Amino acid sequence: MNGYKVILASASPRRQQFFRDLDIDFEIRLKEVEEIYPPELKEVEITDFLAQLKADAFVDDIGDNEIIVTSDTIVWHQDKALGKPVDFNDAFDILSKLSASTHQVFTSVCFKSKHGSEVINEMTKVTFGSLTADEIRYYLNNHNPYDKAGAYGIQDWIGLVAVTKIEGSYANVMGMPTDKVYEYLSKFNRKNI
């Protein structure tokens, strides 16, 4: 990165693994941020707002040669944002709603430096086949989807048995549009030679 240090501000093990898989040299730096957004926001407006909000928490802590990378993902279904479930019953309810329907996954990524910030985003459509109550309970009892938007990980068992169609980026559903992140950082690197 020609003297720039990439700071990934995410506790998500999937996002951290993406950066390792992309061979991006990075450091993890975390800050607690209350993820509240204006109620009138919809779809990608929500993730854009939250990604920027997370980045803005670092406004006084960015070094001259640092790029802060923050991200947010939501599942959008029937005109409603589905975030991370709070408990088993909430997760069961979310997955019951996603069964036999199509939803959208929005992820926004904010890049912030001393010179400003920019947000990129991606949308992927995911279609689930029908899930029985027993299948949902099996998934919830044998996997840990409580840190995942929409109460599921597409890379988990449920992705193998329930996802019948995907339109767009698979990595985006896991929490980061890796192709766009790589492209952005590559362009940033070339601009700062």
Q: Cite the active site residues.
A: 72
Quickly tell me which residue has 């985006």 as its tokens: 172
Separation of alpha carbons 52 and 120, rounded Å: 10
Helix boundaries (H) for 60-156: 88-98, 133-142
Tell me if 149 sits within 8 A of 94, measured CB to CB.
no
Burial class (CB in 10 A: 0-12, 13-18, 19+), 104: middle
What are residue 104's phi and psi, to 5 degrees? -115, 145
Tell me if 144 sits within 8 A of 153, measured CB to CB.
no
